[in-house]
Structure 1
Amino acid sequence: MKAEVGIIMGSSSDLKVMNQAAEVLKELGVSYEISIVSAHRTPELMFEYAKNALSKGIKVIIAGAGGAAHLPGMVASLTPLPVIGVPVKSSNSIDGWDSVLSILQMPGGVPVASVALDGAKNAGILAAQIIATADEQILRNLQSYKESLKSKVDQMNKDIKA
């Protein structure tokens, strides 16, 4: 099955966070691929990935990066696909703020959707929601997922009143 979501990150140190996107996409039945594409260390690879994603069947790109976090914005500048940026709190980060602001403050014409610091799970859900606009099965999977969240809160209320 062709991947519908491309999950990319700047370094293997981002994998722990970015795997959260992969896990929720798998749960929702959305196909994905995951790889390391560094904007700074492998710019040619980043360029090639962004330019070829659409022709490979990718519909949404989730790009996670820490520190200066140029990966999501640079990829967005090279593709017509929606890009969801995940700021990653990394060892070289200024408490994550550098990553958040690098992804959030994009110039007009080059949008990047942004989730919370280390918020790859929400990036995966958002990617699935985008795909669900044209895929009834993914939409049903998302509806079930949302219902399960409601059930969890209902159970929490029962637990605290017991």
Structure 2
Amino acid sequence: MAKSGAKKQHEANKAQLKLLASVLNYTTVFHVVVRLCVRYKTAKKWNVVFFACTLLACRTSLTSLRSFAAPTYDADGELIDGGGSLRGGLTEYYQDLIYVGAFALTATTYSDWFWMSMLIIPAVGGYLIITKLILPYMSMKKQASEASAQEETKEEKRRRERSQRRQAKRRGF
């Protein structure tokens, strides 16, 4: 028997996935009707390629979110686990990709320059790689080298303490 937390998680995931699917479906239909049917003379081959790539990326993200949020049932068909949370972690980036793609599909019915908004995705990815992977690794190496340079060996410590004791004796007399 599922706990109330698992049921709430399942319902929240279901609602969020329904919202994302409807946003993606409506923007896709809007783009096809306006750009490819009404304004078909302005649709070039590269527009269709960008449309297909954007739709593929968004559908792949939605499929990944669905598989991540899939609930687990026991043999009797009762809910055991409500699925993974769609809040936080990598799932937020999948949702952001869907929203950026939906914006691009809607806005490109007005101007082709809005395809440039899809460049936000690799820019954010590069920023995250630099700030979350590369810079912490470099600062970790720098801190380790500084710590090893400052670390005093036992022999150096013994010599320093011995010289301090000698200086203290000389001052005492």
Higher helix share goes to which structure? 2
Larger radius of gyration: 2
Higher strand share goes to which structure? 1
Give the TM-score of the pair, scaled to structure 2: 0.28
Give the TM-score of the pair, scaled to structure 1: 0.29
